Amino acid sequence: MIACKERPKTTYRSYADYPVYTGTDLGLTYTAGRSVFKLWAPTAEAVQMLLYTEGEGGQPTRTQAMEYGGEGVWKAAFEEDLLGQFYAFQVKINGEWSVEAPDPYAKAVGVNGERGMVVDLKTTNPKGWAQDRQPTLQHKTDAVIYELHVRDLSSDPNSGIRHTGKFLGLTEGGTKSAEGEMTGLDHLKDLGVTHIHLLPAFDYKSIDERIANNPNYNWGYDPQNFNTPEGSYATDPYDGNVRIREFKQMVKTLHENGLRVVMDVVYNHTYQTEESLFEQLVPGYYFRQNPDGTFSNASGTGNETASERPMVRKFIIESLKYWVQEYHIDGFRFDLMAIHDQETMNRISKELHQLDPTILLYGEGWTAGDSPLPEAQRSLKQYISKIDRVAAFSNDIRDALKGHVFEHTQKGFISGLPGQEETVKFGIVASVNHPQIRFDTTMRYSQEPWAAEPHQCITYVEAHDNHTLWDRLLISAPEADEAQRVQMHKLASAIVLTSQGISFLHAGQEFLRTKNGDENSYKSPDSVNRLDWSRKAQYKDEYNYVKGLIALRKNHPAFRMSKTEDIVSNLKFLKINQNNLVGYLLTDHANGDKWRTIVVVFNGNRSEKSVTIPDGEWTQVVDGEQVNEAGIRPVKGGKVTIPAISAMILVQ
**CA gap 65, 81 in Å, rounded:** 18
**CA gap 325, 243 in Å, rounded:** 17
Q: Of 364, 396, 526, 532, which residue is the catalytic one?
A: 364
Q: Of 239, 330, 335, 623, which residue is the catalytic one?
A: 335
**CA gap 27, 456 in Å, rounded:** 34
**CA gap 225, 265 in Å, rounded:** 12
Question: Does the annotation count 335 as an active-site position?
Answer: yes
Amino acid code (one letter) for 530? R
* Residue 256, Cβ density class (10 Å: 0-12 exposed, 13-18 middle, ≥19 buried): middle
Question: Does the annotation count 364 as an active-site position?
Answer: yes
Tally the residues of the chain. 652
Q: Is 430 in a helix, a strand, or coil?
A: coil
Q: Is 629 in a helix, a strand, or coil?
A: coil
Which residues lie across from 64 on neighbouring strands? 49
Instruction: Report the b/e string of 519-544 with b at 16+ CB within 10 A.
Output: eebbeeebeebbbbbebbeebeebbe
**CA gap 487, 647 in Å, rounded:** 9
C-alpha closest to that of 491 among 429, 424, 442? 424
Cα distances from 68 to residues 6, 137, 308, 320, 429, in angstroms, run 9, 46, 25, 27, 56
What is the gyration radius of the CA atoms in the chain, in angstroms?
Answer: 26
Q: What is the largest distance, in Å, between two alpha-carbon atoms of the chain?
A: 89
Instruction: Report the b/e string of 317-354 with b at 16+ CB within 10 A.
Output: bbbbbbbbebbbbbbbbbbbbbbbbbebbbbbbeebee
Using DSSP bridges, classify how beta strands 144-148 and 27-31 pair: parallel, antiparallel or unpaired: unpaired
Which residues lie across from 90 on neighbouring strands? 48
Cβ(41)–Cβ(72) under 8 Å?
A: yes
Report which secondary-structure segment, H or E, holds 489. helix 482-498
Which residues are part of the catalytic machinery?
A: 335, 364
